[in-house]
């Protein structure tokens, strides 16, 4: 492992707290150290109060912040003297501790301090770093873990047996550190949990962490326990319908829709195909910090009912001994290992599913290294249960507000690179959906930057192969299709019927009708498996009820598409799929309407551009975002009992009314 410290970069971070920010970010850049909010850092600073007096403050990473992207405001400033007093108490429950911590934060609006705040406070060093380094976990999570740790580090670290994070851990660390620390001590290893380093400067603490982890890596190399299977993409072996059916079963077990991502990298396939995969994977996670995200264990194979029952049995075995009554979490797994599919990860959102995948990828690395070292051994079941059903996590779940309406659901939207299609994608993303956006414009891939909940696929919807490939990609990314928005279409230049060629007619029909029929047909089995029922929204046109001259091909194609949607509404109702149509008109904020075209059309009618945009009954402008919002609402609970409807969004058109 190499230090990422860079003098030029570091010079841009002046002062103790900003130096803390910089080295925290360095730790976060290396995902073998920390991942997705894991790890913790702190610095002790003496600061002036508003009264002119000075006080000692512990700046500790706040809840919800990730070390890789943390900024100054991501650290919670907590009064250090009070933390020291708390550390001397005989007992303190975790809820009481968190309440005490919150009363000692000196900045309004600061994040909640870490549950390990008191532990950071009692360590007699200005800077403290804590990571869940893969190499250290691979060493500690073995039968001879403590022996290996002492062989690697000697007196350079204090060794702490596993105890759940919180007040009791801080007390144990204080007593063990006072007893075992030596002049050479630069760190502390928490068995089955992680490693601490400390120093007088941010650089010293950071580079001590790098040094400690490097020693663990070299030990593993020397024992032939380093290196794992490659993680490049492998072949897609599950059909979209097969994956959607598995996601439906898992969502039903959870009692809520879940996004499911499938990972077919060689590492996952090789691990899932090991003869001993059940023994290795069913012990528990590499560190208790991963339990909340991943749940207790992966499902082996696809027997969802058996896994759910095993989870209920696990809860029953352990909840009776719990100090406080527990409310059982949903019994569905958050990951599954299958010899054909590799690794499937699940979450209430695409981001959650991605986090589970990242965490379990590192867990596999730890398991394989520990196995090569002599045998992987995770925490006992009771310890895992205590973390999964921790009072603080239970309280967090109770405080959580109502999730967005499309949480756990997937929308497929055509023509998503711009205009109405992009606005639809934005509306669904805002409501918590994962979105698969298709467009013939390759820019769809980056239509929303890099985010876990959007997959942009360059796709010609008139190509059967391209559509099937897009569905494969979308279902592998998110597990299925719950909502389908048919927006892609073409609007040819004005041409009277007597001048309309066969080629132009067929081109418009191929895109506006035939391609949408194919998408509906291919998506039907996926929509039928949607946990909350399938929904289809067709973007029609005012030209259906009120056609205009020169638009025969467009008007006829949109009318045919509308009629297709009406028939689908009749046929698919028994499959819990509702189909509705939106008829927009005069939506001018799209690529078709340049300033020059708008000015020309307005002048043709003797209107200003503003008057032309609002030339409807309500004298209002209809924007792409308005259409996107209506399309999303038609997939939501407000329209739960509506199918076969045609809703105009045109500001009121006298020919339609």
**How far does Cα 334 stand from its chain's mean position?**
12
The span from the CA of 598 to the CA of 589, in Å, is 10
| Strands laid side by side in the 342-347 sheet | 259-263, 342-347, 335-338, 299-300
The span from the CA of 450 to the CA of 350, in Å, is 13
On whether the CB atoms of residues 640 and 605 are closer than 8 A, the answer is no
Name residues whose C-beta falls within 8 Å of residue 631's C-beta, 6 or more positions apart in sequence.
424, 427, 485, 487, 537, 539, 582
Inter-helix orientation angle 145-153/202-222, to 10°? 120
The two three-digit tokens of residue 80, written as one number: 């250090």
In sequence order, the β-bridge partners of residue 40 are 130
Please state, as a whole number, how many other Cβ atoms lie within 10 Å of the Cβ of residue 325.
7
3-state secondary structure of 375: coil
On whether the CB atoms of residues 369 and 134 are closer than 8 A, the answer is yes
Pairing mode of beta strands 127-131, 40-48 = antiparallel
171, burial (CB in 10 Å: exposed 0-12, middle 13-18, buried 19+): buried
Please state, as a whole number, how many other Cβ atoms lie within 10 Å of the Cβ of residue 329.
17
Catalytic residue positions, numbered: 554
Reported as type and span, the H/E element at residue 526 is: helix 515-528
The span from the CA of 92 to the CA of 392, in Å, is 13
Reported as type and span, the H/E element at residue 309 is: helix 304-319
3-state helix, strand, coil in the chain (%, to 5): 45, 15, 35
In sequence order, the β-bridge partners of residue 129 are 41, 197
The span from the CA of 58 to the CA of 51, in Å, is 19
| Strands laid side by side in the 157-160 sheet | 75-79, 54-61, 40-48, 127-131, 194-199, 187-190, 157-160
The span from the CA of 53 to the CA of 292, in Å, is 42
E strands in 430-574? 434-439, 454-458, 483-486, 534-539
The span from the CA of 616 to the CA of 612, in Å, is 9
């Amino acid at each position: 492992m190499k230090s990422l410290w860079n003098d030029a970069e570091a010079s841009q971070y002046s002062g103790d707290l900003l130096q803390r920010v910089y080295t925290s970010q360095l730790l976060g850049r290396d995902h073998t150290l920390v991942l997705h909010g894991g790890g913790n850092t702190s610095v002790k600073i003496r600061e002036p109060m508003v009264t002119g007096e000075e006080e000692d403050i512990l700046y500790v990473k706040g809840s919800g912040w990730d070390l890789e992207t943390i900024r100054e405001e991501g650290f919670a400033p907590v009064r250090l003297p009070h933390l020291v007093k708390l550390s001397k108490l005989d007992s303190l429950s975790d809820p009481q501790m968190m309440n005490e911590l919150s009363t000692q934060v000196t900045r309004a609006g600061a994040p909640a301090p870490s549950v390990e705040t008191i532990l950071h406070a009692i360590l007699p060093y200005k800077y403290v770093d804590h990571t869940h380094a893969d190499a250290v976990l691979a060493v500690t999570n073995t039968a001879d873990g403590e022996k290996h740790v002492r062989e690697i580090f000697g007196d350079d670290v204090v060794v702490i047996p596993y105890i759940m994070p919180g007040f009791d851990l801080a007390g144990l660390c204080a007593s063990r550190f006072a007893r075992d620390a030596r002049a050479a001590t630069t760190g502390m290893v928490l068995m089955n949990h992680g490693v601490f380093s400390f120093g007088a400067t941010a650089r010293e603490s950071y580079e001590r962490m790098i040094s400690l982890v490097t020693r663990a890596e070299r030990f593993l190399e020397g024992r032939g326990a380093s290196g794992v299977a490659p993680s490049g993409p492998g072949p897609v072996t599950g059909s979209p319908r097969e994956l959607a059916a598995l996601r439906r079963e898992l969502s039903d077990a959870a009692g809520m829709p879940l996004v499911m991502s499938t990972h077919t990298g060689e590492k996952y396939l090789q691990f899932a195909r090991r003869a001993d995969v059940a023994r290795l994977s069913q012990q528990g996670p590499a560190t208790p910090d991963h339990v909340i995200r991943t749940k207790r264990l992966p499902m082996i194979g696809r027997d969802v009912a058996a896994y759910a029952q095993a989870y209920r049995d696990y809860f029953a075995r352990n909840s009776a001994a719990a100090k406080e009554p527990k409310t059982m979490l949903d019994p569905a797994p958050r990951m599954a290992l299958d010899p054909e599919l590799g690794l499937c990860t699940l979450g209430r959102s695409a981001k959650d599913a991605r986090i589970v995948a990242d965490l379990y990828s590192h867990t596999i690395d730890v398991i394989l290294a520990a196995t090569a070292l002599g045998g992987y051994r995770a925490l006992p079941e009771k310890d895992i249960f205590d973390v999964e059903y921790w009072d603080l996590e239970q309280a967090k779940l109770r405080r959580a507000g109502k999730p967005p309406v499309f949480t756990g659901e997937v929308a497929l939207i055509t023509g998503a690179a711009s205009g109405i299609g992009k606005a639809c994608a934005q509306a669904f993303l805002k409501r918590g959906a994962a979105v698969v956006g298709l467009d013939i414009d390759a820019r769809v891939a980056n239509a929303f930057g890099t985010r876990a909940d959007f997959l942009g696929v360059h796709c010609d919807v008139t190509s059967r192969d391209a559509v099937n490939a897009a569905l494969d990609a979308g279902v592998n990314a998110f597990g299925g299709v719950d909502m389908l928005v048919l927006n892609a279409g073409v609007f040819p230049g004005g041409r009277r019927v007597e001048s309309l060629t066969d080629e132009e007619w067929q081109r418009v029909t191929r895109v506006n009708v035939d391609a949408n029929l194919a998408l509906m047909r291919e998506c039907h089995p996926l929509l039928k498996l949607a946990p909350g029922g399938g929904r289809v929204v067709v973007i029609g046109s005012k030209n259906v009820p009120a056609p205009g001259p020169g638009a025969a091909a467009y008007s006829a194609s949109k009318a045919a598409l509308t009629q297709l949607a009406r028939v689908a509404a009749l046929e698919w109702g028994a499959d819990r799929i509702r189909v509705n149509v939106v008829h927009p008109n005069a939506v001018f904020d799209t690529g078709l309407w340049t300033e020059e075209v708008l000015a020309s059309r307005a002048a043709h009618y003797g209107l200003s551009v503003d008057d032309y945009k609002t030339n409807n009954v309500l004298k209002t402008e209809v924007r792409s975002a308005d259409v996107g919002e209506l399309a999303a609402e038609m997939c939501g609970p407000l329209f739960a009992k509506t199918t076969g409807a045609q809703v105009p969004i045109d500001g009121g058109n006298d020919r339609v009314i």
